[in-house]
Structure 1
Amino acid sequence: MMFSVALSLSVRDFALVRKEPLRVLGGVAVQLVGLPLLTLGLILLLSPPASVALGMLIVASCPGGNVSNLLTRIAGGNTAYSVTLTSISSVSAAILTPLSILFWSGLYAPADALVHALEVDPLPFFVQTAALLAVPLALGMALNAWKPVLSDRIGRVLAPLALACIALLVVVGIVQNWNIILITGALILPIVILHNSSAFALGWLSGRALGMEPARRRALTFEVGIQNAGLGLVILLSQFDGVGGAAAIIGMWSIWHLIGGSLLAGLFRLADSRTLGRNASERDT
């Protein structure tokens, strides 16, 4: 999955950092720090079980995904800005994702106790997770820089394969934890919807606070609200023994953020069509 993402990354994707450093770095900060901080606030407010809280924090610590670029385009947002934020979060994920998971989970006592009960050693966890992310990212970006035509051909095959792998991981996570989902579904689904809606709202409000025009606000909304939950499942299954409540949260998030994101993109398009209609009526008048 990470290799297929890296095949689409190039130095050009980071050019916007020099042109608009405040908006780019501000958007990155909202995504990498603001979302985990918001998530911790929701956890402290709701006091969910430790495994559910861990799942929420893992999702919030993951980078954005390419789906955010697609939804931004559909919603009439600034796609170049979206691609830049996705590129930065994807590259920085090798270091920041494992650090973020350990840091934020340590601030909620039940989740911290669960991590210790699972005997997760911080140093091996960091090294293994960083390698899991950094190696395919480096290889993919190197191939794209060295052989862009070959990279594009491989990417056309691997991109849908990666999506299929994500879908398979979601299905496996749900099937393995089906009993937990049935028992706690009334708890998990509202938490996922609230968490995801809050993430979208954070992106939109942060865009306004940073003085962005509507197109960039929409891009930031999707960058914060759409996370690479498939990567979260990989980390959970490989490093946290696939603990049930966390798997249920991440699996449900994987499905819901696509539904919520698509609905939001539709609302943006509807708002645009109504605005065009009003402008046309005013011109006719």
Structure 2
Amino acid sequence: MNADSIDQLQVIVDDQSRLGIALILFVMMFSVALTLKLEDFGLVRREPGRVLGGVAVQLLGLPLLTLGLILILSPPASIALGMLIVASCPGGNVSNLLTRAANGNTAYSVTLTAISSVSAAVVTPLSILFWAGMYGPAGALVRSLDVDPWPFFTQTAALLAVPLMLGMALNHWKPDLAGRIARILGPLALGCIALLVAVGIVQNWPLILATGAVIIPIVVLHNGSAFALGWLSGRALGMETARRRALTFEVGIQNSGLGLVILLSQFSGVGGAAAIIGTWSIWHLVGGSLLAGLFRLVDSRTLAANATERDT
């Protein structure tokens, strides 16, 4: 399939589905906010350099890296748009779980997730529009979809900011109630996203078959580069191993469910972008789990080697 054909593919979304997608987005961000506490931001005051450095890698480094990959690969416009949407999304709670599994610094991971999630209301829509405009074909595609920048920004910001504020307020004033609701809404939101992805796969199976040979290598390269950026940035910032691992997962694990919802609700479900984001939503879990296992393997071998040295 050539570039022009990929850019013409589209995931059809009717008005009722758009309303349902907006509701899923609201529930997703509300459930995320229910787990955020003011204490999660305390590390900013104690270690501002490392926290702000990590945030900069997430919010600026990953989109810049993505733009570099796009300029090298010169993919079709819709694929480039999908890559940039993913790179503009905040991290997700999965990064905290993988950090813990990899013996990383979970407190640092939670702080970065909290900051990226809260800032997403403003940063994510601005980032998508800015970085898409930096690659001519993607910018032209956005214009062809009649995406008006100001309404897109205000609508997306409102959809993200309102549930975030409500969730954090509830967690502050009624933490026990927020915890109980989060235990229900968290899995529900993940289930809705999983269902959305599954339905999309079933309904668009011909699209996936047609684009898979192009999409999968790009997603694997993009995600692998994101993990590498997190690790190398941690080294450049002078972080110890546990923090480097946390930053690795924060940069490599993005809230692709949010990206998919934004694409379907605001960008007419462009097929190439949908294929990128949908594939990323599956692959980053696979790649992240493999990486966490590799880190644990390194730790176990280090412990075994140290034990052998002590015995001798």
- Counterpart AA for 1:255: I
**Equivalent residues in 2 for 1:88-237, closer than 5 Å:** 88-237=115-264
Q: Distance in 1 between matches of 2:66 and 2:193?
A: 23
Instruction: Report the alpha carbon displacement of residue 178 of structure 1 after superposing the two structures with TM.
Output: 2.1
Question: Is 1:265 the counterpart of 2:288 in the alignment?
Answer: no
Distance 1:151 1:52 in 2: 38
**AA of the residue aligned to 2:65:** L
One-letter amino acid matched to 2:198: V
Residue-by-residue CA offset, 1:226-259 (whole Å, 9 max, x unaligned): 0000000110010001110000000000000000
How far has the Cα of 1:162 moved from its partner? 1.1
What do the CA deviations read for 1:59-82 (whole angstroms, capped 9, x no partner)?
A: 000000000000000000000000
Letter in 2 for 1:105: A
Query: Structure 1: which 5+ runs fail to align?
Result: none
* Whole-angstrom CA distance in 2 between matches of 1:109 and 1:132: 28
**Matched pairs, number:** 285
**C-alpha distance in 2, partners of 1:23/1:68?**
18
- Residue in structure 2 matched with residue 6 of structure 1 by the alignment: 33
C-alpha distance in 2 between matches for 1:136 and 1:154: 14
Is the partner of 1:119 in helix, strand or coil? coil
Residue type at the aligned position of 1:248 = A
Q: What displacement does 1:263 show?
A: 0.1
d(CA) in 1 for partners of 2:190, 2:210: 29
Match of 1:77 in 2: 104
Cα distance in 1 for residues equivalent to 2:182 and 2:265:
25
Does residue 50 of structure 2 align to residue 16 of structure 1? Answer: no
Amino acid at match of 1:213: E
Deviation at 1:179, TM superposition (A): 1.7
SS in 2 for 1:142: helix
Which AA in structure 1 matches 2:177?
A: L
User: Which one of 51, 56, 60 corresponds to residue 29 of structure 1?
Assistant: 56
Which of 252, 258, 264 is 2:279 aligned to? 252
Give the unaligned 5+ runs of structure 2: 1-27
Amino acid at match of 1:167: A
State how far apart, in whole Å, the 1-side matches of 2:280 and 2:204 are: 14
What aligned pairs does 1:24-63 form with structure 2 within 5 A after superposition? 24-63=51-90
Supply the AA of the counterpart residue of 1:233: L
Identity of aligned residues (%): 82
Aligned partner letter, 2:219 = V
Structure 1-normalised TM-score? Answer: 0.99
Aligned to 2:308, the other structure's residue is in SS state helix
